[in-house]
Amino acid sequence: MIVVTSEYIAGKKVTQTLGLVRGNTIRARHIGKDIMAGLRALVGGEIHEYAKLIAEGREQSLDRMIDHAETLGANAIIATRFTTSVMMGGAAELLAIGTAVIVEDTTSNNSG
């Protein structure tokens, strides 16, 4: 499955648009990670516990979007976007959306 944020894929042409696909997950913070993150916030720098949590959520939502596209028969997803929203204190939704398409290789007729 080819997944891109652009509306086109170099060397490919879209032959069919299958529609919007999405995948989401809701992730909640863990009390132990909150304590570590709080300590890191005191001294500054990246909060690795939250960065890992968000990265895992992004991957899960991406995997679910790909699964959705596969059920439609797509071999690519274009115009992929991610969004995050707070659902409640300590929990966030990560959403991946894109357009499921069928692409084929472009052919070159250079006879030179």
Q: Is residue 111 in some structural domain?
A: no
Model confidence at 110: pLDDT above 80: no
Average of per-residue pLDDT across 30-49: 63
Note whether residue 79 is domain-resident: yes
Assess if residue 8 is contained within a domain: yes
For the chain, the average pLDDT equals 86
CATH number at residue 89: 3.30.110.70
pLDDT per position as a tens digit, 54-81: 889 999 999 999 999 999 999 999 999 9
Side chain identity at 41, as an amino acid letter? A
Number of structural domains found in the chain: 1
- Does some domain include residue 29? yes
- Please check whether residue 31 lies inside any domain of the structure: yes
Residue at 43 is within a domain: yes
Which residues form the domain of 17?
Answer: 2-105
Q: How many CB atoms lie within 10 A of CB 66?
A: 20
Residue 110 in any domain: the answer is: no
Q: Residue 112: which pLDDT band, with cuts at 50, 70 and 90?
A: very low
In a domain, 96, yes or no: yes
pLDDT (average), residues 41-46: 66
3 state SS of 19: strand
